[in-house]
Chains A and B, each alone.
Chain A
Amino acid sequence: MRKKLLVCVLLSLLLLSFAACSQSSQQAPAQTGDAVGEQPAETVNPAIDGYPKKNIELICPSAAGTGFDALSRKLAEVLPKYLPDEVTIFVSNLNSGGGSEGWTKAYGADADGYTLLLYGIPDSLIAQELYERPYDIKEMTPLAGLTYEPTTCLAYIDSDVNTLDELMEKAKTKPVVYGTSGAGGSTHLEALVTTTVLDIPARFVHFSAVPEIITSFERGETEFLSISLPTSLMWISEEKAKPLVVFAKERQKELPDVPTIYEVEGVTQEQADKLSDIQQYRRAVWAPPGMDPELQALLTDAIQKSVTDPDFAAWSEEVGRPITFVPGTEFGTFVESMYDNHSAMMDVYRDAIVN
């Protein structure tokens, strides 16, 4: 009986300790603005005084082993070198709820520089609207944009379609078939934007990852795929797929022979503007809402130095994900315009996913 009692007590203690851990991560955001207002003018800004004093958590709302995870871990390795004090930055993969767990935690954390988040838009912005998630990315403090990845439209290597013109022509006789890496995911939404704006009749088959779409190309189940430029390069170099068009204002150095959407016959200037604005992916580092501008500037500066560090630059070159740095203050404006562009498409997204 005593042994049973011991087990029960230990069990309760374990549960209580985990419940306590869980509670501590759900505190309300700090009112940093009020605190700053009460300080005497001659004192050093407390938001950056002595920062950082402790280790920093970099939230990655994506699973271990993904591209986001790799980028987060590399940044966590290099960034401490450029902070006033060299503390440890540890990566937390909080990917429950399609990443909602990570965003929710960062949104509710203190904007004291000890909780940061690395992820991309527009998929997280769209998900926030479609699934009514308990955070608002527009209110987050952007620290730095890290990448610019225009969307590329790919076709199966053995397809008789070689240009976007030919794709549009083919769709007139029968809806073309796109493979996606999940309904509501970025490859689905990007293909949906193309086909909606250019009025291309299309069907979608939803797989769970890009390699599965490539195998479906070979089985003749699907024929096209909309995907970010860096990811497309491997499948192009392996001759599994060919690029039809890049949704960008200028030709990209990685695919110099592939036309931009502006060069495609039958696409108006207005359609091309809309597609090049919407069809791009940006990875960025964020902080919770309401961060002190001086602390924001300090972190933006440290991130800029990190991504130009030779070690980081060599790594990004090696993994084929070039860095396009955008300071946080500029990136905020960009988030707003991205949000407005996608808001106009929200009904299309909603209909496609529900149907």
Chain B
Amino acid sequence: MAYTLAAFSEALQLIFADFNFLYIILGALLGVVFGVIPGLSAPILLSLLIPLTISMRFDSALLLLGAALGGTTFSGAITSILFGVPGTANNIATTLDGFPLAKQGRATEAITAAATASVFGTIFGNFILLLLIPGLSKIVVAFGPPEIFWITMLGIFLISIAARESMFKGLLSGGIGLLLSTHGYSTATGLLRFTFGVAYLWNGFGVLTVTLGLFGIAEVINLILGRNKIADSAVDLPIKGSIASGFLFTAKNFPTVIRCGIIGMVVGIIPGAGAGIADTVAYVSAKKSSRNPESFGNGNMIGVIAPESSNNAKDAGAMVPLLAFGIPGSLATAIILGAFILHGIQPGPKMLTEYLPSSMVLVLAVFFSGILSSVFGVAGLPIWKAVTKIPASYLFVFVIGVSTLGVYGTNSNAKDVLVVFLFGILGYVMIRYSFNRVALILGLVLGPVAESSFLRALQISEGNYAVFFRSSICIALVVLMVGYAFWPAIKARMRPGREAK
């Protein structure tokens, strides 16, 4: 513990020495820009920054990269709220109530509430992370394949109750996502599946490509074909008097923010399950515990603060496997690991011993950037207002251009561009027939994690299914899932009894 505190103090001194804090400001600003623009995301920004950081001092590079990572998470909520297009995969659930709120003229309040929740989520997540650092490796060891399998099952199960539309359509959409996740190479079996001789499919469908197609391109097609009025996309943004109410709303709902922060931390720990899951699970949790669940999806402010608190705390959760064992929790943290390697540092257990001060620098960069980006997000309200006044037809070109370049820039693969448009068409069909696009993304993200955890668990137990109930974590997750399924019925049964009394 003493060593942890010494490393923490060393990292803090470094951040405030010379002009080092400027790296955090720069990283947070870039993060906000890349988060706001649909198609640009933390992995793309980090990929662009890594070559620039090779010649920098390692700690300076970590400050810039950590700040860039922390900066994108909240800012993606701005586009989710204003245009109904998630700025990043972290903000998919924020769209569900953020966009309806913007349509009601409450965009300023929603953005401020989201920013405040993000700050709380960041502070909470990183505070817990700092407390956990001495025992991080034990936490990671506690989550083996059966535990990870149940967490993914919980996520997939929540798809059905997350659906605003019918449960059948929610499950069907999630099922399509699961099917899409089976394309390509499976590390658990070593086999190539459903590739049809097409090399592109060996790596499966990229989450970024599918998200941009289903949300960005699909919304544009929907507007071009006139299913929605163009006027609907341009939101009149009242500025006066709403900032304080957004802040106060979040402060009043502090317990929800903390509960969703815990959800984000736990989900962030699972490798590969961060983006899109932390926010959705928190959203569903908030909806289930609400006295007014039917208002969700129609502009309930809780539906904005729950995912935003969760996705910011998730960044801290993703640091747990990263720091304890060098296991990246997300694509963005995998790229940051690359920066460690490029600077001659092999990620792994040394990140908690020899390189602990550097690890602290990374954690603090994400922390300060998370706060700064929220401040930038609120300070930038006049700019966001101006953006909403841009004629929708210009925004179409912008969204198409940025989505296209965003997916092309990730892998330099022209086929990704074709695929993003194909998913755009699928997304339009899903909008038209009220299918759940979030559920599809969740299925796609969780499918490989669920499948490989399932197979690994059986490989460990030599086919004995009892392995899925081997620990108290497994049992707690199953109880939670059953509780979620039957709670409405139990609540309904209890209510008449109470009323009779």
What residue in chain B is nearest A231 (Cβ atoms)?
A: B346
Give the contact stretch, choosing among B160-168, B334-342, B373-381, B492-500.
B334-342
Per the 8 Å Cβ criterion, residues 182-205 of A in contact with B are 182-185, 188, 203-205
Rounded to whole angstroms, the CA-CA distance of A184 and B189 in the bound complex is: 8
- B425 contacts across to A, CB distance below 8 A: none
Beta-carbon contact of A318 and B344 below 8 Å: yes
Rounded to whole angstroms, the CA-CA distance of A66 and B400 in the bound complex is: 32
A4 CB → nearest B CB, Å: 5
Beta-carbon contact of B414 and A22 below 8 Å: yes
Beta-carbon contact of A14 and B417 below 8 Å: yes
Give the contact stretch, choosing among B76-84, B196-204, B233-241.
B196-204
What residue in chain A is nearest B43 (Cβ atoms)?
A: A64
Known interface pairs A97-B199, A184-B190; A7-B144 also in contact (CB < 8 Å): no
Rounded to whole angstroms, the CA-CA distance of A238 and B354 in the bound complex is: 11
- B421 contacts across to A, CB distance below 8 A: 15
Beta-carbon contact of A185 and B335 below 8 Å: no
Rounded to whole angstroms, the CA-CA distance of A204 and B415 in the bound complex is: 36
A212 within 8 A of B: yes
Quick one: CB contact mask for B315-356 with A, threshold 8 Å, 1 for yes?
000000100011100000011011101101010111001000
B187 within 8 A of A: yes
Total interface residues in chain B, CB < 8 Å:
63
Beta-carbon contact of B456 and A18 below 8 Å: no
B462 within 8 A of A: yes
* Interchain CB contact (< 8 A) of B349 among A19, A134, A183, A238: A238
Rounded to whole angstroms, the CA-CA distance of A22 and B321 in the bound complex is: 38
Known interface pairs A100-B202, A206-B459; A19-B414 also in contact (CB < 8 Å): yes
B244 within 8 A of A: no
Per the 8 Å Cβ criterion, residues 206-224 of A in contact with B are 206-209, 211-212, 214-216, 218-219, 221-222
- A18 contacts across to B, CB distance below 8 A: 404, 408, 414, 417-418
Quick one: CB contact mask for B442-477 with A, threshold 8 Å, 1 for yes?
000000000010011001101000000000000000
Beta-carbon contact of B190 and A238 below 8 Å: no
Give the contact stretch, choosing among A67-75, A257-265, A305-313.
A67-75
What residue in chain B is nearest A318 (Cβ atoms)?
A: B344
Beta-carbon contact of A98 and B185 below 8 Å: yes
Beta-carbon contact of B393 and A7 below 8 Å: yes
Could you show 23 A-B contacts with beta carbons less than 8 Å apart?
A3-B391, A6-B393, A7-B400, A14-B404, A18-B408, A18-B418, A63-B334, A63-B338, A64-B47, A65-B341, A95-B203, A96-B199, A96-B203, A97-B185, A98-B202, A101-B413, A183-B190, A203-B462, A205-B460, A206-B189, A206-B459, A214-B325, A240-B349
Give the interface of A toward B (CB within 8 A).
3-4, 6-7, 10-11, 14-15, 18-19, 21-22, 63-67, 69-70, 73, 77, 92-98, 100-101, 104, 131, 134, 181-185, 188, 203-209, 211-212, 214-216, 218-219, 221-222, 234-235, 238, 240, 315, 318-320, 353-354
